[in-house]
Amino acid sequence: MHTLTVLDIERVRGQFPILSRETKPGVPLIYLDSAATSQKPRQVIEAMSTYYERQNANIHRGIHRLAEEATESFESARDKVTEFIGAKSARQVIFTRNTTESVNLVAYSWGRANLGKGDLIVLTEMEHHSNMVPWQMLAQERGVRLAFVKVTEEGLLDLGSFHDLLENKPQLVAFTHMSNMLGTINPVKEMTRLAQEVGAVVLIDGAQSVPHLPVNISDIGADFYAFSAHKMCGPTGIGVLYGREDLLDEMPPFLGGGDMIKRVQLETFTVNDLPHKFEAGTPPIAEAIGLGAAIDFLTSIGMQAVHQHEKLLIERMLDRLEEVPGVRVYGPGVEHKGGVASFSFEGVHPHDVAQILDGQGIAVRAGHHCAMPIHEKFGLAATTRASFYLYNTVEEVDSLIEGLYQVKEVFG
Catalytic residues: 370
Coarse DSSP helix, strand, coil percentages of the chain, rounded to the nearest 5 percent:
45, 20, 40
Strand-by-strand arrangement of the 120-124 sheet: 93-96, 239-243, 224-228, 201-205, 172-176, 120-124, 145-149
Rounded CA gap, 105 and 102, in Å? 5
CA-to-CA separations, 264 to 60, 258, 259, 280, in angstroms, rounded: 17, 10, 11, 14
Length of the chain: 412
Grouping H, G, I as helix, E, B as strand and the rest as coil, residue 344 is: strand
54 CB-near residues (< 8 Å, 6+ apart)? 69
Exposure string of 198-214, with b = 16+ CB inside 10 Å and e = fewer, is: eebbbbbbbbbbbbbbe
How far is the C-alpha of 263 from the C-alpha of 281, rounded, in Å? 15
Which residue type does 391 have?
Y
Query: Is 172 in a helix, a strand, or coil?
Result: strand
Give yes or no for a contact between 388 and 402, defined as CB atoms under 8 angstroms apart: no
CB atoms inside a 10 Å sphere around CB 86: 14
CA distances from 193 to 35, 148, 190, 222, 282 (A): 28, 18, 5, 8, 37
